[in-house]
């Protein structure tokens, strides 16, 4: 019979798609090859050639020196306090800015400039802000607090405003229909809806600020980071090991606590 079943051939990808693949993957490979020399990949074997040094370094880490434990703990506590105040001030900054940057609460001619300002705050690294504040208020924890407050204020302001933009407008309309003033509409219609999300964001930033505050210590903003920097530059690896352990334990505890609190909120 002539009506033999004609099975169509398996599909092939069009030439244009295959060409794009070659360009993208080829491009990535070319970039990696160009960068190979610039980042000294050729020196990887040193990792093993100098293994004696590494072993010595590792051994000192296995014998942490706990003699100054009290100092480390009190400096760690100072770092956490920097993070706490930095986050608290950031929340104070972020509440008005977050509301002012939300399209559904604020007219666009205010909202857009505020948004851009938050973008700027957020994009300046806190290390740069820290250095700036050290110049302004001198070495010490306050510079760290202010740096965290500004940077985190920018981050939280953006997150807060996005939470406000995703609320249900109906309850707000309900409050408006009672004859409430615009600010009262925000307090009674908007805030109850965003409260859990805002708290969760603030807690999350406190977690990450506990880590950032450590790094800020490296540039002289006080706390455990400063002690860490001094012991590393003095090649005191036993002390460094003890400090790192204190940091890891403290930051992990903060993470766990704050995660538990956030899960209860949502």
Partner 1 sequence: MPAEAALEARDISKTYGGRRALDRVGLRVERGEMVALIGPSGSGKSTLLRAVSGLVTVDAGPGRISVFGLTVQQDGRIAETVRQVRQRTGFIFQQFNLVGRLTLFSNVMIGALGRLPFWIGLFGAWPHEEKLKAMAALHRVGVSDYAGQRANTLSGGQQQRGAIARSLVQGAELLLADEPVASLDPVAARRVMDTLSSLNRDDGLTVVVTLHQVDYAMRYCRRIVALEAGRIVYDGPAKGLDRALLAKIYGPEFQEALFEEEDR
Pick between residue 43 and residue 170 the one whose CB is nearest to partner 1: 170
Site for partner 1 in 73-112 (CB under 8 A): none
Which residues, numbered 194-253, are part of the site for partner 1 (CB under 8 A)? 195-196
User: Using CA atoms, how far apart are residues 242 and 173, in angstroms rounded to an integer?
Assistant: 57
**Piece in contact with partner 1 (CB under 8 A), picked from 112-120, 126-134, 170-178, 213-221:** 170-178
Task: Give the nearer residue to partner 1 in terms of CB position, either 8 or 179.
Answer: 179
Q: Encoding tokens for residue 98? A: 């977050």
Do the beta carbons of residue 111 and residue 102 sit within 8 Å? yes
d(CA 119, CA 102): 14
Complex with partner 1: residue 101 or 190, whichever CB lies closer: 190
The 10 Å CB-count burial string (b at 16+, else e) for 225-242 is: bbbbbebeeeeebbbbbb
Asked if 266 interacts with partner 1 (CB under 8 A), we say no
The span of 10-18, 61-69, 173-181, 219-227 binding partner 1 (CB under 8 A) equals 173-181
**Minimum distance from residue 134 beta carbon to partner 1 (Å):** 39
Nearer to partner 1, 190 or 250 (CB): 190
Q: In angstroms, give the least distance from the CB of 106 to partner 1.
A: 18
How many residues comprise the chain?
266
- Minimum CB separation of residue 185 from partner 1 in Å reads 9
Q: Which is nearer to partner 1, 89 or 175 (CB)?
A: 175
Applying CB under 8 A, the site for partner 1 has a residue count of 20
Interacting residues with partner 1 between 40 and 79 (CB under 8 A): none
Among 13, 38, 43, 170, binds partner 1 (CB under 8 A): 170
Tell which positions 174-193 bind partner 1, by CB under 8 A.
174-181, 183-184, 187-189, 192-193
CA torsion 219→220→222→226, rounded to 10°? Answer: 70
**CB-wise, 52 or 177, nearer to partner 1?**
177
- CB of residue 162 vs partner 1: minimum separation in angstroms? 18
Site for partner 1, rule CB under 8 A: 170-171, 173-181, 183-184, 187-189, 192-193, 195-196
């Amino acid at each position: 019979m002539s009506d033999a079943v004609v099975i169509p051939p398996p599909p092939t990808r069009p030439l244009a798609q295959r060409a794009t693949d070659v360009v993208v993957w080829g491009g990535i490979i070319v970039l990696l090859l160009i960068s190979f020399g610039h980042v000294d990949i050729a020196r990887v074997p040193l990792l093993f050639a100098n293994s004696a040094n590494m072993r010595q370094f590792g051994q000192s880490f296995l014998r942490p020196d706990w003699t100054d434990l009290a100092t480390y703990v009190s400096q760690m506590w100072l770092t956490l306090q920097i993070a706490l105040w930095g986050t608290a001030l950031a929340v104070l900054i972020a509440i008005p800015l977050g509301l002012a940057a939300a399209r559904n609460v604020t007219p666009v001619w205010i909202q857009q400039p505020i948004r851009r300002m938050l973008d700027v705050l957020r994009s300046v690294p806190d290390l740069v802000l820290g250095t700036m504040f050290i110049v302004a208020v001198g070495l010490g924890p306050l510079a760290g607090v202010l740096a965290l407050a500004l940077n985190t204020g920018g981050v939280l302001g953006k997150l807060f405003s996005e939470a406000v933009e995703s609320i249900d407008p109906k309850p707000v309309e309900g409050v408006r229909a009672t004859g409430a003033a615009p600010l009262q509409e925000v307090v009674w219609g908007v805030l109850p809806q965003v409260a859990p999300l805002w708290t969760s964001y603030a807690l999350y930033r406190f977690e990450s600020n506990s880590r950032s505050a450590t790094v800020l210590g490296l540039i002289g903003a006080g706390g455990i980071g400063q002690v860490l920097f001094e012991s590393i530059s003095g090649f005191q690896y036993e002390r460094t090991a003890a400090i790192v352990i204190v940091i890891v334990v403290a930051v992990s505890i903060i993470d766990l606590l704050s995660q538990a609190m956030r899960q209860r909120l949502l």
